[in-house]
Amino acid sequence: MAEIENRPSNFIRTIIDNDLASGKHASTHTRFPPEPNGFLHIGHAKSICLNFGIAKDYSGLCNLRFDDTNPEKEDVDYVNAIKNDVQWLGFQWHGDINYSSNYFDKLHSYAVELIEKGLAYVCFLSPEQAREYRGTLTEAGKNSPYRDTTVAENLALFAKMKNGEFKEGECVLRAKIDMASSFMVLRDPIIYRIRFVHHHQTGNKWCIYPMYDFTHCISDALEGITHSLCTLEFQDNRRLYDWVLENISIECKPQQIEFSRLNLEYTLMSKRKLNELVENNLVEGWDDPRMPTIAGLRRRGYTPASIREFSSRIGVTKQQNTVEMGMLEACIREDLNDNAPRAMAVLDPIKVIIENYDESAIEELSAPNHPNKEEMGKRILPFTRELYIEAEDFRAEANKKFKRLVLDKEVRLRNAYVIKANRFDEDADGNITTVYCTYDPETLGKNPTDGRKVKGVIHWVSASKGIKAQVRLYDRLFNVANPDADSELNPESLKVAQNAVLEPSLLNATKEQAFQFERTGYFCRDNKSDDLVFNQTVGLRDSWAKVDAK
RNA sequence: UGGGAUAUCGCCAAGCGGUAAGGCACCGGGUUUUGAUCUCGGCAUUCCCAGGUUCAAAUCCUGGUAUCCCAGCCA
């Protein structure tokens, strides 16, 4: 699309502008820090565009860092998928890929430093006891009986934890802060736990793993991050983020700034819940075209530019929001309207026989690939005596509002002739199967010379030259605007047009190539199947549907 | 009176004391061999509510109300 890289400001960019103006920072350094425990979704795209967008516009840097402190849920397959998605969206991270696990040695040293300062201790409370000791939202917690263990003993205990001398769950390392804090996150948070599991990056080197709150701030500081952008639910965690950096020997003090996460109507935006859909085979996989994942949107036909444009349009604020699907759809329509070549495809065919057209003739008509962009060229369209048209484009009788083929009336075949319907056949169920027509040979590329007005235009495909393909039509994944985990899925989210017939030029479509099937919508060739399969990206705006519904 | 946040059109969202941007959606007119595109026009006397300060308030003050987040050895 003619991507207008307008740079909408937002409260985060305002903060950065001020930090640059005041000299607090000479340049910006952001980071995108996903946990490799699932595929990225459109909400992550918002974060990617924010972080990498700032780096781009401010001539700063943006790192890609895998926040991999919980090996049980993570996998290299996810790191590869994430790398792929970020690049596909059009961004390149600064330097090598980073992993929180790169810092495990340093993290360990900082933990030891906290113990030496009397600011961390090994605690043997069971998870259940720890919960009781933590108190509630309205009542203060109480100190762990292990809180006053000596520094020397804590050092020895932590070494034993590291050496695998305690069982999983037997003890943890906790920061000594304030069991009465109104910030739950400050009530002596756990900073290390024991896990005897293989890590996708560090193998079996470690059996203790640092927690998010301890890891993230230090990782940011070690990478020289200036502005650490995350979502709203981490607002309380910011107090712990700052506490850790203030209490260890580290120079860099990144500023955490929170913004609201994206919610999209009729879909889910949680890796955990999306994972359930995948695990329970409710969708084909993470890249199912109905999924709000980057991979799913890609397979559906969304372009990187359209997703970047969407991110730009929704803005960045701290307000809780739920964006309408129409907003996303408008972005891809705008891109594809400009860039997708047109083609004709009949999804639900009925036959048209042009009785006054030579049975053996095959006329090679020429049609522009784009109505407003001559530079996109033309393609050949074979015209024959027998054609297919859309079943919904013929009615035996209709009022004047119906601008399509009606018995005894005329209609224009797109890029071809004007035809008139004379009679039709129907099957035992009353479904129309064949319409017998005559054509006006004087109407190719021009209006009838006698001044007859033909109002409608319908699309068609040659019956003998058309090609078969599977066309998949998609609808919203859920029936409710704000679904939760057990909301009902839309049983009609996938429909397959089994009898679709396409114009022959589509035989050359490459995987992922986008087209506008005229009068129908935007489609792209599936990027997985080797068969000829097209996925519907989005329909055309359809003002007729509103009229017809009345 | 636990704490942390947020409230501007149906949905996003500008606005930062000088008299309500923009986009999506919607409603009308025009062009059109896609009921598409394009184009022209319409869409908040009002900013969660109630008081107050001021010549002037969405913006400042006071008091309410609503919604979201926090009690994982998840991130």
Q: What is the DSSP string of A436-499?
A: EEEEEGGGTTS--TT------EE-EEETTT-EE-EEEEE--SBSSSS--TTPPB-TTSEEEETT
**3-state DSSP call for residue A321?**
coil
Which protein residue lies nearest to nucleotide B8, measured between its Cα and the C1' atom? Answer: A319
Report how far residue A181's alpha carbon sits from residue A139's, in angstroms, rounded to the nearest whole number: 10
How far lies A228's CA from each of A52, A85, A139, A252, in Å? 12, 21, 32, 12
Nucleotides of B under 7 A from a protein CB: 2-8, 10-16, 22-27, 33-38, 67-75
Quickly tell me which residue has 């003619």 as its tokens.
A2
pLDDT value for A6:
52
Which protein residue lies nearest to nucleotide B35, measured between its Cα and the C1' atom? Answer: A544
Report how far residue A47's alpha carbon sits from residue A259's, in angstroms, rounded to the nearest whole number: 9
Quickly tell me which residue has 């109407």 as its tokens.
A443
This prediction has a pTM of: 0.97
Q: What residues of A act catalytically?
A: 35, 261, 271
Using the CA of A313, which nucleotide's C1' is the nearest one?
Answer: B23
Using the CA of A447, which nucleotide's C1' is the nearest one?
Answer: B33
pLDDT value for A488:
85
Q: CA-to-C1' distance for A410 and B75, Å?
A: 63
pLDDT value for A101:
98
Provide the b/e sequence for A197-230 (b: ≥16 CB within 10 Å): eebbbbeeebbbbbbbbbbbbbbbbbbebbbbbb
Question: Which residues of chain A register pLDDT less than 70?
Answer: 1-7, 550
How far lies A211's CA from each of A103, A184, A279, A308, in Å? 13, 15, 26, 32
Q: A31 near A257, Cβ under 8 Å?
A: no
Quickly tell me which residue has 């489609």 as its tokens.
A523
Through-space distance between the first and last CA atoms of chain A, rounded to whole angstroms? 35
Q: CA-to-C1' distance for A24 and B69, Å?
A: 30
Q: Which of A462, A536, A456, A464 is nearest to A495 (CA)?
A: A536
Query: Facing residues of A495 across strands?
Result: A473
Using the CA of A326, which nucleotide's C1' is the nearest one?
Answer: B24
Using the CA of A126, which nucleotide's C1' is the nearest one?
Answer: B73
Query: Facing residues of A29 across strands?
Result: A61
Measured in whole angstroms, the distance separating CA A524 from the mean position of its chain's CA atoms is 16
pLDDT value for A7:
60
**3-state DSSP call for residue A4?**
coil
Q: Classify burial at A256, counting beta carbons within 10 Å of its beta carbon; exposed 0-12, middle 13-18, buried 19 or more.
A: buried
Query: Facing residues of A366 across strands?
Result: A380
At A435, give phi and psi (nearest 5°): -120, 125
**3-state DSSP call for residue A253?**
coil
Which protein residue lies nearest to nucleotide B6, measured between its Cα and the C1' atom? Answer: A319
Task: Record the tokens describing residue A357, joined without a space.
Answer: 């057209």
Q: CA-to-C1' distance for A355 and B63, Å?
A: 83
Q: CA-to-C1' distance for A330 and B27, Å?
A: 19
Pairing verdict, β A345-346 and A410-413: unpaired
